[in-house]
Amino acid sequence: MEEKLNYDFITSRELSSKAKVYLMLILTDENINNTQQLQKLVHEGITSVRSGVRELIDQGYLRITRTRDNQDCKFSGTIWTASPTPEFI
């Protein structure tokens, strides 16, 4: 049985409407792991997308971890971890 997603963040007064939409997209699409992918979905400018993502990070709904390649220690990507409740404060 599929687990239902908690959408209580929709009624949060701390998040803008834009951030709520971004969070819903990130929570429901596991392939979103950078701002460019999110930008393609929402058809907004990169600055607008970055500000919405920054809002989610600041409010504790999103954590972005940069990963490194073990051989040459260069950054190899990012892992986006999202939560329907503010867990990353």
pTM over 0.75: yes
Q: pLDDT, tens digit, for every residue of 1-33? A: 456 778 788 888 899 999 999 999 999 998 898
Query: Do 38 and 5 touch, CB atoms closer than 8 A?
Result: no
State whether residue 64 is helix, strand or coil: strand
Q: Which of 17, 5, 13 is nearest to 42 (CA)?
A: 17
Q: Which domains does the chain have, with CATH numbers?
A: 8-82 (1.10.10.10)
Q: pLDDT, tens digit, for every residue of 50-67? A: 999 999 999 999 999 988
